[in-house]
Structure 1
Amino acid sequence: MLALIDTHHHFLDPEAHYYPWLNDAGFPPHRYGDHSALKRPYLPADYRRDTAGINLLGSVHVEAEWNPKDPVGEMRFIASLREQCGLPSVAVGQAWLHQPDAAGTLEELAAFDFVRGVRQKPRANLAPGGPPGGMTDGAWLQGYARLEPLGLHYELQTPWWHLHEAVRVAAAFPQTRIVINHAGMPSDRSEEGLRAWRTALAGMAAQPNVAIKISGIGEAGYQWRLDANRRVVLEVIELFGVDRCMFGSNFPVDSLCASYEAIFEGFAACVADLSAQERAQLFVENARRIYRIAA
């Protein structure tokens, strides 16, 4: 039975709480396509059913795009789940770093002993070649500067064509860890697209304070495909090394692409040629260290 710490999943309850992407009518489709199947509660009991064939040693809840007017409310919800069910092990909260109230929000989030970092998807363009994204804003950078003193890291989810902005941020704040989400989002699987993605990701890999999660690499219109995803997995590991890479399920979102076991069996197949120690780092030990999860 595969042992792992899942570094990226979401607990959510759109029947009891407000998530714009789940509750609002006419919200744009997810990058995987129709996401109506996700408009239901996904709670620890559901997660335990999905992980029944896995030796789950810990998990990381990542903010689920909860009501942006009440980002701290999500962590109160997660705190109640941890008290009732013992999951997740730790969490990443939502914070809008460019907002005037960012300082207070970050302090409130840091006060939860299980919160390890924050995520805000910075303003991005839909395609390469557009104007600068949100990581160049002065107000955003002021908010970002508050993370390290509070013991928080930054979870970055942005299209690869904005990673050059993140390189500058990583270099300017070398004591603040960045964890890239979803392998840098290699959505264009053409040869040209993958080359551009790899080049952008290499700039981040050169920054020693950057780690990366191999997660959320499904494709719209397809089930999780080993032949399509093996290259992504191995190139990320080649760039960052086994000591800065981790695996995550992105459940329940990636249930649109495959079962939980199928995704992790795919990851395991991708790294089958690595040593047992290297596989242990990728599936467990790096996550334990980076997210400070007790053994």
Structure 2
Amino acid sequence: MEIVNAPHQPVREQWLALHREDALLPQLKVVDAHHHLWDRQSGRYLAHEFSQDIQTSGHRIVSSVYVQCRSMLRQDGPDALKPVGEVEFASGVAAMFASGHYGDARGCEAIIGGASLLAGDGLQQVIDVMMQHSGGRLRGMRNPLAWHQDPRVASSPASPPAGLSADADFRRGAACLARNGLPLDVWVYHTQLEEIACLARALPELQIIVDHCGGPIGVGPYAGRRDEVFQQWRGSMMQLAALPNISIKISGFGMTVMGYPFAEAPMPPDSATLAQQWRPWFETILALFGAERCMFASNFPVDKGMFSYGAFWNACKRLAQQASDAERAQLFWRTAATRYRLASLEKINEQQNAAE
């Protein structure tokens, strides 16, 4: 199969079923710190599909963070409030998981909404409405920021303007998030990381969570230049690591824009193959940021076109084989529990912090 020239690879369940592997460290608590849910022309991934991936993987997923993807926006009403529909949708799925009908995981325990930060100070009204409709689960916002001048570099159907994070209204909106104790998730390419460093310096009180390892591009003008991209990316990541209000999600390697050819193979990749390919990025991030500012996340169903849920988490566990028990806990659940204030894990986190 050739890689599709599209933001996401299609999910092929029959192909994924060609390889199964038992879960490593099956009792290790895991928070899936970044996933989506949707029902669109490209496929359906709702509570049933997410629960099935969790339960068949054999991994102990205890909680998850739903991240905006423009699902179930309100059809009517003011544009500023249309993203409230996505929060209502995710909160409903969270209630489904909380019933226990879908297993022990607290799916969508935290919700990252999609209210536009360009609302500036007016964002407060939208936050208040989202809080009311989230069942107390709203834990941050994310706006489309990933931009590149080359049309071959694409990871989302939503194309923002260049340099949006420097816009004065956007920064006022970001400051409003900080006043409410809400972090900002950002998905940008490695060519934009200096913009995020500028935002973090301008708003040191704002917690910024950089998605998908900082977006090292592997397609278009960067295809076949992975070593060069790595050096550029590492230099920018060093700048981010010097800023204490920035954390990193180790995720996103299944996106087409990363340039990995896993979907071309006749068999889906095993976890050892994935870990080998991702190790340089993981080891660099861990060395620069420390485990207390890093978290693993699946980015499903986006990454499901490249590998299975079980293989992904086994790959993460292979990557963390040399980590201490404390570091492993940070990577797999404690950092996410802290950044997103996960109620089901806060007490455990507090008790372990006190013991240490």
TM-score range relative to shorter protein: 0.7 to 0.9
**Residue in 1 aligned with 2:228?**
192
Quick one: structure 1 residues 167 and 11, their matched pair in 2 at CA, closer, same or farther if it must change by over 3 Å? same
Gaps of 5+ in 2: 1-25, 99-106, 154-160, 219-224, 264-268, 346-356
Query: Counterpart in 1 of 2:242?
Result: 206
3-state SS of the aligned residue for 1:250? Answer: coil
Contact 2:146–2:187 under 8 Å retained in 1: no
Q: Which runs of 5+ in 1 are unaligned?
A: 15-22, 24-38
- C-alpha distance in 1, partners of 2:97/2:63? 13
Counterpart of 2:147 in 1: which secondary structure? coil
Aligned to 1:8, which of 31, 34, 39?
34
Partner of 1:118: 141
Could you list the per-position Cα deviations for residues 150-186 of structure 1 after superposition, in whole angstroms to 9, with x for gaps in the alignment?
2211001111111111111111211110000001011
CA 1:123 to 1:54, structure 2 compared with 1: closer, same or farther past 3 Å? closer
Match of 2:108, as an amino acid? Answer: P
**Residue number in structure 2 paired with 1:44:** 47
* DSSP-derived class of the 2:61 partner: strand
Aligned counterpart, 2:129: 108
CA distance in 2, matches of 1:95, 1:236: 29
Separation in structure 2 between the aligned mates of residue 203 and residue 273 of structure 1, nearest angstrom: 26
The structure-2 alpha-carbon separation of the partners of 1:186 and 1:58, relative to structure 1 and needing over 3 Å to count, comes to same
Instruction: Give distance in 2, aligned partners of 1:82 and 1:42.
Output: 14
Match of 2:95 in 1: 83
The answer to whether the 8 Å contact 1:123/1:133 transfers is no
Judged with a 3 Å threshold, the aligned counterparts in structure 2 of structure 1 residues 60 and 123 are, in CA distance, closer, same or farther, namely closer
TM-score, length basis structure 2: 0.71
CA distance in 1, matches of 2:96, 2:319: 36
Structure 1 counterpart of 2:51, one-letter code: R
Larger Rg: 2
Contact 1:180 1:212 in 2 (8 A): yes
Q: How far apart, in 2, do the equivalents of 1:230 and 1:236 lie?
A: 10
State the Cα RMSD in Å.
2.1
Partner of 1:63: 68
- Which of 243, 247, 250 is 2:296 aligned to? 247
Counterpart residue type for residue 178 of structure 1: I
Cα distance, 1:246–1:110 mapped onto 2, change above 3 Å: same
Residues 202-248 of structure 1 show CA distances to partners (whole Å, capped at 9, x for unaligned) of 11111101111101122453255332211111111111111100000
> Partner of 1:221 in structure 2?
261
Q: Name the SS for the 2:328 alignment partner.
A: helix
Q: Which range moves more in the overlay, 98-107 or 205-214?
A: 98-107
Give the 5 Å matches for 1:88-167: 88-99=108-119, 102-111=123-132, 112=134, 113-122=136-145, 124-126=147-149, 133-167=163-197
Comparing 177-186 with 158-167, which one deviates more in the overlay? 158-167
Displaced runs of 4 or more, over 6 A: none
Looking at structure 2, the residues matched to 109 and 94 of structure 1 have their Cα atoms a distance apart, in angstroms, of 10
Residues in 2 aligned to 1:138 and 1:49: alpha-carbon distance in whole angstroms? 43
Q: Which residue of 2 aligns with 1:279?
A: 328
Label 1:132 to 1:255 Cα distance change in 2 as closer, same or farther (>3 A).
closer
SS in 2 for 1:59: strand
The residue correspondences of 1:15-54 to structure 2 (distance < 5 A) are 23=41, 39-52=42-55, 53-54=58-59
CA–CA separation in structure 2 for the residues paired with 1:123 and 1:255 = 21
The answer on whether the counterparts of 2:146 and 2:189 sit within 8 Å (CA) in structure 1 is no
What secondary structure does 2:171 align onto? helix
Contact kept in structure 1, 2:253 and 2:260, CA below 8 Å: no
The answer to whether 1:172 aligns with 2:202 is: yes
Q: Does the 8 Å CA contact 1:125/1:133 hold for their aligned counterparts? A: no
Contact kept? 1:110, 1:150, Cα under 8 Å: no
How many Å separate the matches in 1 of 2:92 and 2:244? 35
Displacement of 1:132:
5.5
Q: Under a length normalisation based on structure 1, what TM-score does the superposition of the two structures give? A: 0.85
